[in-house]
Structure 1
Amino acid sequence: MAVKGLGKVDQQYDGKDVKVGILHARWNNKVIDALVAGAIQKLKEFNVREENIVVESVPGAYELPYGTKKMFEKHGVDVVIPIGCLIKGSTMHFEYICEAVSTQLMQLQFQLDKPVIFGLLTCLTEEQALLRAGVLPGMHNHGEDWGACAVEMVLKWK
């Protein structure tokens, strides 16, 4: 049995009235800068006005959940895209931060009843991160996906 529309956007979305917060960690800035740029580019393609895109930063990925909550409070945005990049090192730090941040971002959207887009890359190598940010050839910029997702999640459930 075939499922219709699997993997396709089910309708066109016009984000002209959507207010988006982008909150990014400052670690791995080559990757982060590309992801933020990709998200903004896609938001504009969905007609989100530049004045409706608020960009803030936090020191690292661990601060993304709290910063996300504050973005909603401070800026009155409809959706937040927290963007971070964790790259595995030689200690358990990677696993602890990935789990804590992922869990809290998921819980936060239910607590606030607002969409929080999962913009956290969890990579085993720097090369994987650069690929997913579209810095190296071979993959597209995942920030673009997050921008499109933000507009859809706001407008679909309004």
Structure 2
Amino acid sequence: MATALKNLSEYNSDNLIPIDGKRFGLVVAEWNKAITDTLCKGAYETLVKHGAKPENIERITVPGSFELTLGAQFLAQSSDIDAVICLGVVIKGETKHDDYICHAVAQGITQVGLKFNKPIIFGLVTTNDEQQAWDRAGGKHGNKGVEAAAAAIQMLGVQLID
């Protein structure tokens, strides 16, 4: 669904499992730091709101969005981490660089999740300009970090269904 039709901070909490014993990893890109820190704050606050203990949330910082994949793998390989949330911002520039970064990150995050059989959440904001990124980091379209944290909790619930 297009972001214009949905607030990223709205989600159905009816199907969220208890997470007081779960451990989460947050991988946050430094590039566009003010925006990624806002995304991270949204994710962190959502996890705590739903019962995650602050000491069970580990944050690592990577240089840019391209490095989210390896950062996710570093956290995912730990048996102590139940889910990893990747947060970054890619803003379109004058070249196709953004296309290559976004594609690589999407593929990489998918591969890490499959390799470690745990939720690795794609919290990458991809926009045409900086204002659109802010609109998705707590602005008029909500906060993608909130959405990513809710997705991580939901995916942990899907794992328990087996």
**Larger Rg over CA atoms:** 1
Shift of 1:67: 1.0
Are residue 62 (structure 1) and residue 66 (structure 2) matched? yes
Look up the match of 1:151.
153
| Contact 2:17 2:156 (8 Å CA) reproduced | no
TM-score where L is the length of structure 1: 0.89
What secondary structure does 1:31 align onto? Answer: helix
Shift of 1:76: 2.6
> Would you tell me which structure has more strand in proportion to its own residues?
2
Alignment length (residue pairs)? 150
| Aligned partner (choices 92, 97, 112) of residue 88 of structure 1 | 92
| Aligned partner (choices 78, 82, 86) of residue 78 of structure 1 | 82
| Large movers: runs of 4+ above 3 Å | 7-10
Rounded to whole Å, the distance in 2 between the matches of 1:73 and 1:12 is: 24
- Structure 2 regions of 5+ residues with no counterpart? 1-10
Identity of aligned pairs, percent?
35
What secondary structure does 2:121 align onto? Answer: coil
Q: Deviations over 1:79-124 (max 9, x none)?
A: 1001110000001111111111111111221111111011111111
Shift of 1:150: 1.1
Are residue 127 (structure 1) and residue 120 (structure 2) matched? no
Shift of 1:153: 1.1
| Contact 1:15 1:151 (8 Å CA) reproduced | yes
Rounded to whole Å, the distance in 2 between the matches of 1:12 and 1:86 is: 29
Look up the match of 1:4.
none
The AA in structure 2 aligned to 1:29 is K
Rounded to whole Å, the distance in 1 between the matches of 2:12 and 2:105 is: 28
Rounded to whole Å, the distance in 1 between the matches of 2:158 and 2:102 is: 28
RMSD: 1.5
Look up the match of 1:111.
115
Rounded to whole Å, the distance in 1 between the matches of 2:159 and 2:77 is: 20
- Structure 1 regions of 5+ residues with no counterpart? 1-6
| Aligned partner (choices 16, 22, 29) of residue 18 of structure 1 | 22
